[in-house]
Amino acid sequence: MPNIAYLSLGSNIGDRKGHLEQAIARLDALGDVAAVSAFYETEPVEFTDQALFLNCAVALETSLSPSDLIVSLLDIERSLGRERFQKKGPRTIDIDILLYGDHVVNLPDLTVPHPALAGRRFVLEPLAEIAPYATHPILKKTVTKLLEELPPGQNVWKLCKS
């Protein structure tokens, strides 16, 4: 039985829009892409000395387990030229699992819900567009509520529908 996985996609190297579009197209092999947010231009966080990102959120109906899904997402990243030179550094594509139904996963290589979800405007703005009432299974708050509770900062600009 399929679950809804909410994903965050981001790119800040090369053809950012093209990288996002290619990644979204490849997600079809992993299930049904049920929704895609608009694209948002966002400031980098943590390591800020890099180009602006283009981000979006995707709802994916999938029968893959969270562990199998992350393996497949990492394969998509590699196929689109993702190289991991610097933690939080520039990247052609980044795909994170934000939520996976109401599952809580704590594995060495995967934590769901994403541990930084509640504090990232560049993730919550696009996610609120496609899943405003999705609930964080640990914090018991909707995406909309998490977004409302964010302090000012982290500039995010909605650009276009994907």
Phi, psi of 24 (to 5 degrees): -60, -40
Set 16, 26, 91, 121: catalytic member: 91
Clarify whether 120 is annotated catalytic: no
Which residues, in sequence order, are CB contacts of 55 under 8 Å at separation 6+?
A: 8, 9, 10, 39, 40, 41, 42, 122, 123, 126, 156
Residue 32 maps to which CATH number? 3.30.70.560
The angle at the Cα of 75, spanning 6 to 91, to the nearest 5 degrees, equals 75
- pLDDT of the residue at 6: 98
Q: How many whole angstroms separate alpha carbon 128 and alpha carbon 85?
A: 31
Q: How many structural domains comprise the chain?
A: 1
- What's the domain range around 42? 3-161
| Active-site option among 16, 26, 82, 121 | 82
75 is catalytic: no
Q: What is the pLDDT of residue 38?
A: 96
Is 109 a residue of the active site? no
121 as an active site residue: the answer is no
Which residues 6+ apart lie within 8 Å of 151 measured at CB?
none
Cα angle 23, 2, 99; round to 5: 60
Q: Give the pLDDT score at 92.
A: 85
Q: What is the pLDDT of residue 162?
A: 45
Per-residue pLDDT of the chain (162 residues; tens, 9 = 90+): 789 999 999 999 999 999 999 999 999 999 999 999 999 999 887 666 668 899 999 999 999 999 999 999 999 999 987 666 656 668 889 999 999 999 999 999 999 999 999 999 999 999 999 999 999 999 999 999 999 999 988 889 998 664
